[in-house]
Amino acid sequence: MDAITMNLLKEVADLDALPTGAYNLRANGKGAGRNTTANIDIVTKEDKPGIDIIIKPGTKKESVHIPVIISETGLKDLVYNDFYIGEDADVVIIAGCGIHNCGGSLSQHDGIHTFHVGKNAKLRYVEKHYGEGDGLGKQVMNPTTVVYLEEGAVMEMETTQIAGIDDTIRTTKGEIKAGGSLVVKEKIMTTGDQKAITNFEVDLNGEGSAANLISRSVAKDHSRQEFNSDIRGNAPCAGHSECDAIIMDQGWVGASPKLTAAHIDAALIHEAAIGKIAGEQLDKLMTLGLSREEAEEQIINGFLS
């Protein structure tokens, strides 16, 4: 692998080399490496671009890495990845996409990931997006995540986008059965003229089902962000969404929460806060010898950590 690929792998998957265990590496629209294990199989789709990841019931303490790398300008990549997590499994899936664009044309990756999480299974899903390049072409990513949680299944999803993505529409949809729980933690920072839209839609369909959607974001320069959430409680359930945003310079942030209760015991809550960095926070750090820019960076890093 060349230096660009290795740097992108480090940014999106914290990898210094190909991982041990199960993995599938996609580079510039093609498969570039794969490994399976006794409990985790990865199969190329025959009807459309993408893969099926099949994890056997009861699989514990194993992980799957599925990074995507784009280093060609003008490439538009679309993949459909389906994940089948067996009953009582407890695994980690690490995804992410890195784009290096030094040309004049737009480079884009759209990934549609669908998760079928079996009864009482636990899944931690980590997804990072990163872009770089000194060309005039844009880096665009549009991730779509669809989640189906069976009874007692738990999924924690961590998504991060803090550098280099010019335009993104991030869509997450979920259907949760009795006792299932979905936790989504999103971190976004936009700069320049970048645009980011987040859409959450979750149906809580079973008794004791729960969803917790948390978004933290920073909008700098002239960038724009939009947060939309829709939690529908169709049974005795608990739903919570939270949007916290820091706005700087001429940035713009909009938050549009929606809650729908279709059962008397559906408990649904939304919280939203948009504002600038507090002056007293800056003053306190500047009295310790930091410049204003250094103080702002420290505050933002803490907010997005």
**pLDDT score of 221:** 96
Indicate the residue type of 236.
P
At residue 58, what is the residue type?
Answer: G
Is 249 within 8 Å of 220 (Cβ atoms)? yes
Quote the tokens at residue 91. 């695994």
The residues pairing with 229 across neighbouring beta strands, listed in sequence order, are 200, 257
CB 57 within 8 A of CB 39: no
Do residues 65 and 19 make contact, with C-beta atoms less than 8 angstroms apart? yes
In order of 59, 224, 234, the CA distances from 23 in angstroms are 16, 35, 37
- Determine the Cα–Cα distance for residues 227 and 159; give it in Å rounded to an integer: 14
> What's the pLDDT score for residue 100?
93
Amino acid identity at 145: T
8 A C-beta contact, residue 214 and residue 186: yes
Confidence at residue 238, expressed as pLDDT on a 0 to 100 scale: 98
CA distance 7 to 254: 33
Integer-rounded Cα Rg, in Å, for the chain is 20
Q: Are 195 and 220 in contact (CB under 8 A)?
A: no
Strands 252-261 and 107-117: what pairing?
Answer: unpaired
Contact between 73 and 43 under an 8 Å Cβ cutoff? The reply is: no
pLDDT of residue 1: 63
Q: Which residue has the tokens 């931690």?
A: 124
What is the rounded distance in angstroms from the CA atom of residue 90 to the CA atom of residue 210?
19
pLDDT of residue 135: 76
Q: How far apart are CA 41 and CA 151, in angstroms?
A: 24
CA distances from 180 to 41, 149, 164, 266 (A): 25, 6, 35, 14
Sorted by sequence, the CB contacts under 8 Å of residue 70 that are 6+ apart come out as: 27, 28, 29, 77, 97, 98, 99, 100, 101, 107, 109
Residue type, 140: V
Is residue 140 within 8 Å of 108, Cβ to Cβ?
Answer: yes
What does each of the 305 residues of the chain score in pLDDT, given as a tens digit?
Answer: 678 888 888 888 888 877 889 999 999 999 889 999 999 999 999 999 999 999 999 999 999 999 999 999 999 999 999 999 999 999 999 998 999 998 889 999 999 999 999 999 999 999 999 999 887 889 999 999 999 999 999 999 999 998 899 999 999 999 999 999 999 999 999 999 999 999 999 999 999 999 999 999 999 999 999 999 999 999 999 999 999 999 999 999 999 999 999 999 999 999 999 999 988 888 888 898 899 999 999 999 999 98
Residues 274, 246: Cα–Cα separation, whole Å:
6
